[in-house]
Amino acid sequence: MKHAEIILTPEQQSMRREELRADILRPLQKISFLGKLWIAFLVVIILIGGYAYIQQLKHGLIVTGLRDYATWGIYISNFVFFVAISLVGALISSVLRLTNFTWYRPLTRIAEIIAVAGVVWAGLIIIIDMGRPDRILNLFLHPRIQSPILWDVVVISTYLTTSVLLLYLPLLPGIAICRDRLTDKPKWQRWMYKFLALGWTGTPDQWKIMKKSITILCVVIIPLAISIHTVTSWLFATTLRPGWDSTNFGPYFVAGAFLAGTGCVIIGMYVFRKVYSLEKYLTDAHFGYMAKLLVFLAFVYAYFNINEYFIPYYKMRGPEARLLTDLFSGQFAGLYWSAQILGMALPAVLLMFKSMRKPLPVTLIAIPVVVFAWVKRYLIVTPILLHPYLPIQNAPASWMNYFPSWIEIEIVAASLAGVLLIITLFSRFFPIISIWETLENEGIELDELDELNNTKNEKA
């Protein structure tokens, strides 16, 4: 798999290079009307969310559906979801790389940009949830290292930095190609390429440094990725609440995160393949591999779910029993079973059939995986808060239940649009498929590629 079986002649290699570059730079040339409409749509959603947030700043969190019992709601579940999908960057570009798989290489950039967009908005949404965002500096002025929130601040910022580097470094040759090829772009954009390319010319030294850095980052990012989501699970597991007070929470969250992120990458692959006509690079085989990965991860996640829900269910210990009854057959049963069946069990079973492992069915199956991954995070946050040790009595009706307000829904929609906007804009300015990694995968020499590039520059 690593090298193509047929050894290409230098002419064929150079043709292949040119073909690949042309294919991958095409989406950067011109944005279609539909493409513009999509960006406009996302911007409008974000603006509405921005207006909603201004209302929240003005009146306080009273504008949300949150009250003294359900004190965390969809902001926090959305935060957990974003952290979850950001783990896939580490999975695809690091775990697969270090285990010597090569098929993943055209997918790395999609996975990395999902990771970066997810973790950026995870950071933003947690600030939106704060009652006093104006006092955010207190985290640095009066930090208390005992608090899992501080651990989260540390790992999220480290993970964001590492993810951005892991996105950026392999992109250097791509930016250099943009710099050299996209000369008809506006001045600021050409300047941006020139600035971001860091003077990349593709000398053997540059390649050596870059590849070495990537290897280091790939090793570093695995413990970071596991930490970021484990620490996020500890925001819940460090409390004494029935339903959160679980030693299973760390691996349970990490497993669910890999599943959700893989679903996101599959959807991303399908969209980019269709919209940017990348059928030659994001092949049916890639969907097949990702489908198999999804099956594997769904089984791992199912294992942790059984531990998380069915062992307490076997015991039916007092306060936890009330929660489990509500999840299994009470007010949350519809959402709970949809999440477990449509978001995990059924996709795993369906994708075991070879006929299902084609791009369209895989994508259609990945959609509920992602949607119910979000729902599952809601089920992890709010029902537990509504089932405390002491009964909820003598409280207004709005405290007994939680339903997100329009303000909350608009802000969460804006954050989802924000993730999509980052991914969309990135793919409009930078190659969404790593050219050199794909070429290397096909056994085409890289040094030549850039020597060729350099001579062209000199001529120009």
Partner 1 sequence: MEKEDDKSDRRKFLKLGALAGGVVLLGSAIGKAVSLDSTKETGEKVKVLTADGKLMEVDGCNMKHPAAVKLTNQEMRKGIEGKKFVMVIDLAKCANARKCVEGCQKMHHKQAPTEWIKVKRMQDAESLTPYWMPQPCFHCDNPPCTKVCPVDATFKREDGLVMIDNERCIGCRFCMAACPYNSRSFNWSEPIIPQGMEAAEYSIEKSFPAKIGTVEKCDFCPDMAREGKLPDCVTACPNGTIFYGDQNEDTVTNGDQTFRLKELLTNRSGYRYLEELGTEPRVYYLPPVNRDFPFENDTIVHNTEDYKII
Residues binding partner 1 (CB under 8 A): 59-63, 66-69, 71-72, 129-133, 135-136, 138-139, 141-144, 146-150, 153, 235-236, 238-241, 385, 388-399
Output 201 or 238, the one with its CB closest to partner 1.
238
CB of 137 to partner 1, least distance (A): 9
CB of 62 to partner 1, least distance (A): 4
Query: How far is 110 from 353, CA to CA, in rounded Å?
Result: 26
Which residue type sits at 115?
A
Which residue, 186 or 391, is less far from partner 1 as judged by CB?
391
Name which of 12 and 138 has its Cβ closer to partner 1: 138
Asked if 95 and 86 touch (Cβ cutoff 8 Å), the reply is no
Q: Which lies closer to partner 1 via its Cβ, residue 31 or residue 139? A: 139
- Min CB(396)–partner 1 separation in Å: 4
In the complex, what is the shortest distance from the CB of residue 223 to partner 1, in angstroms, rounded to a whole number? Answer: 23
Shortest CB 93 distance to partner 1, Å: 31
The answer to whether 256 touches 375, Cβ cutoff 8 Å, is no
CA angle 324, 325, 330 (to 5 degrees): 120
* Eight-state DSSP code of residue 344: I
Nearer to partner 1, 107 or 126 (CB): 126
- Tokens 């950067």 locate to 28
Exposure string of 156-189, with b = 16+ CB inside 10 Å and e = fewer, is beebbebbebbbbbbbbbbbbbbbbbeeebeeee
Q: Could you tell me the smallest distance in angstroms from the CB atom of residue 313 to partner 1?
A: 21
Would you tell me the crossing angle of helices 204-237 and 249-275 to the nearest 10 degrees?
130
Cβ atoms of 340 and 263 closer than 8 Å:
no
- In the complex, least distance from residue 398 CB atom to partner 1, rounded to whole angstroms: 5
Residues in the chain: 460
Q: Which is nearer to partner 1, 186 or 396 (CB)?
A: 396
Which residue number, 164 or 392, has a Cβ lying nearer to partner 1? 392
Distances (CA, A) of 315 to 248, 249, 324: 16, 18, 11
Judged by beta carbon, residue 22 or residue 57, the one nearer partner 1 is 57
- Specify whether the CB–CB gap between 178 and 189 falls below 8 A: no
To the nearest whole angstrom, how small is the minimum distance from the Cβ of residue 414 to partner 1? 20
At 203, the amino acid letter reads T
Closest contact distance (angstroms) between CB of 55 and partner 1 is 9
Spatial distance between the Cα atoms of 444 and 59, rounded to a whole number of angstroms = 60
Residue in 91, 117, 68, 49 with CA at minimum distance from that of residue 414: 49
Decide whether 10 or 143 has the Cβ nearer to partner 1: 143
Q: What is the DSSP letter of 171?
A: G
State the DSSP code for 306.
Answer: I
How far apart (Å, rounded) are the C-alpha atoms in residues 123 and 120?
5
